[in-house]
Structure 1
Amino acid sequence: MLAQQRQQAIHEMVQRLGGVRVGDLVREFGVSDITIRRDLEALADKGLVAKVHGGATALNRHATDEPGFAVKSVRQRLEKQAIAAQAAALVQPGTAIALSAGTTTRVLAQLLQDVRDLTVVTNSIPVAEVFYKAQRPDQNLVLTGGIRTPSDALVGPFAVSAIRALNVDVLFLGTHGFSLQAGFTTPNLLEAETDRALVAAARSLVVCADHTKWELVGISTIAPLREANVLITDSGLPGPARNRLSSEVGELLVAEVAAVRGAPDPPTAA
């Protein structure tokens, strides 16, 4: 198979599946790891796919596009791990926290399994699964209930009603996108309503968003930038964007991705 034919086939796979891994493509096409990486670079240079650690994903820039959890879990894996490590350092034993749905918050959940006397409120099935499997008697898990979305979030009136009855010290919020004009956004209207309830229930808001979310705008705003006490992003965010965000949020923390290179990849969806 010629390189052009192989790249076209890879592009079609990405469009159909939402994302692909280098190892799977090596087995599929019977070529070397280096050849596949060059193919992905060529497709990314043409603006046909988004290169991520270990593979590639489809480009979704529309206001209502909502990739599934499995697709998002392979994007910016090192960035999410670095961001989660920064976020975990903010969690104190004996506190009540909320974790919204998202792949970054799931990585954060993995890092919080050993925190003593922790109460965790979440509307995320994957996040709840992490704490459920840990089986720590000194950790309390509150799962909101609700209707499941493609991102494995529980949303809707049942979720909102449960959240409104609660008060937490800190909310760690994952977001589909963030921009100066639109603030923190999501492509799912019901998820936006549920996330707004989480924001209202928390005394402090910490938003976790990797650099690819910058200027990505979903159809519904969760909160304006100024409501974030802390915004944690990664070192891939350009300098001008950092300067602009620093004046909008309470505190901007930039996680160095190089600090986690060589560490194990964060877990993917089951």
Structure 2
Amino acid sequence: MYPEDRRAKILNYINSRDFTDVPQIAEKFKVSEITARRDLLILTKSGLINRVYGGVKSSPPASAAEPVFTEHLKEFKEQKQQIAKEAIKYINDGDTVFLDSGSTLLELARLLPQKKNLKVITWGLHILDMLCDLARKGDFDGEILCCGGTWRKDPDLFIGPQSIRFFDDIIINKAFLGIIAVSLDFGWMGSSLIEVEATKKIMSISEKVIGLAVSGNFSKTAIARIGTLKSLPVVITDSGIDKRTIKQYKGKGLNIIIAAQ
């Protein structure tokens, strides 16, 4: 069972009982108390449960104004899996790969056991957790690196000046970036200025940059501009994108690859 699937079951269990503690979770889900404690910590930081004396209890649902990364895992899952299956084709054995934060990148991380001798760099806590879990089971063959920074609740990543300095002496073969917004007028965008700065740093040290975007993220805007459409060499999207949109963006210089269904 993948860590995020286990945590979803733990969350349902807590919501059905209102209160539980680490030993109960460890026994119920047949994991160590260390793993149970880590799962509860992640759920607490995500705002899904509350820590109380002696254990944890269920938390009221987050408001629409406060999105939680866990919710993104459920959205457009089939489209994200399509994109991931196409993206894995670009990774070769022995590559040094960067995986951005995001649920589409998490689907790509699931497929990395297909490759050998990888060096994977990420700032996404959810991706780091999955890769470490795969490595403990002997299912992932490679090294895992995580840059420093301050943890942000949504989109569940470490970011900050330390993150940018981490990449000063690193060369990346393939960088996979999650695209949350792209438009004909403004190019492609990110959710914060510090993420934009860090993304530009990663692009500058990468031999190949590949954007991953569900079709619904086209013709959307976000607060911070990363670059023009031509600055993004290639974007992989799902088969739900319409022909008119493809023509418009290709006309502006964006190379779009449609993942197979």
Normalization by structure 1: what TM-score?
0.68
Indicate whether 1:244 and 2:248 are aligned.
yes
Indicate whether 1:140 and 2:143 are aligned.
yes
Name the CA distance, whole Å, in 2 between partners of 1:153 and 1:221: 19
Q: Which residue of 1 aligns with 2:41?
A: none
Aligned-partner residue type, residue 146 of structure 1: G
Q: Given the alignment, which residue of 204, 219, 235 partners 1:231?
A: 235
Structure 1: segments with no counterpart, 5+ residues: 1-23, 29-57, 260-270
Aligned-partner residue type, residue 83 of structure 2: I
- Deviation, 1:249, is 4.5
Q: Which residue of 2 aligns with 1:175?
A: 179
- Deviation, 1:232, is 0.4
Q: Given the alignment, which residue of 153, 156, 164 partners 2:157?
A: 153
Deviations along 1:2-33, one digit per CA (max 9) or x if unpaired, are xxxxxxxxxxxxxxxxxxxxxx9xxx9xxxxx
1:45-84 superposed matches below 5 A:
67-84=67-84
Deviations along 1:24-72, one digit per CA (max 9) or x if unpaired, are 9xxx9xxxxxxxxxxxxxxxxxxxxxxxxxxxxx9x8xxxx77331121
In 2, are the aligned partners of 1:231 and 1:249 still within 8 Å (CA)? Answer: no
The 10-residue stretch of structure 1 (123-132 or 66-75) with the greater mean CA deviation from structure 2: 66-75
Name the CA distance, whole Å, in 1 between partners of 2:254 and 2:195: 24
In 1, are the aligned partners of 2:181 and 2:218 still within 8 Å (CA)? Answer: yes
Deviations along 1:113-133, one digit per CA (max 9) or x if unpaired, are 231010111111111112111
Q: Which residue of 2 aligns with 1:10?
A: none
Name the CA distance, whole Å, in 2 between partners of 1:215 and 1:250: 13
Q: Which residue of 1 aligns with 2:40?
A: none
Deviations along 1:139-178, one digit per CA (max 9) or x if unpaired, are 0111002112210121110101102321101110002111
In 2, are the aligned partners of 1:205 and 1:227 still within 8 Å (CA)? Answer: no
Q: Which residue of 2 aligns with 1:106?
A: 106
Aligned-partner residue type, residue 77 of structure 1: K
The 10-residue stretch of structure 1 (118-127 or 223-232) with the greater mean CA deviation from structure 2: 223-232
SS in 1 for 2:101: coil
Moved over 4 A (4+): none
Name the CA distance, whole Å, in 2 between partners of 1:216 and 1:250: 15
In 1, are the aligned partners of 2:113 and 2:141 still within 8 Å (CA)? Answer: no
Distance 1:209 1:242, change over 3 A: same
Name the CA distance, whole Å, in 1 between partners of 2:157 and 2:179: 12
1:117-132 superposed matches below 5 A:
117-132=117-132
RMSD value, Cα: 2.3
In 1, are the aligned partners of 2:177 and 2:212 still within 8 Å (CA)? Answer: yes
In 1, are the aligned partners of 2:98 and 2:174 still within 8 Å (CA)? Answer: yes
SS in 1 for 2:114: coil
SS in 2 for 1:89: helix
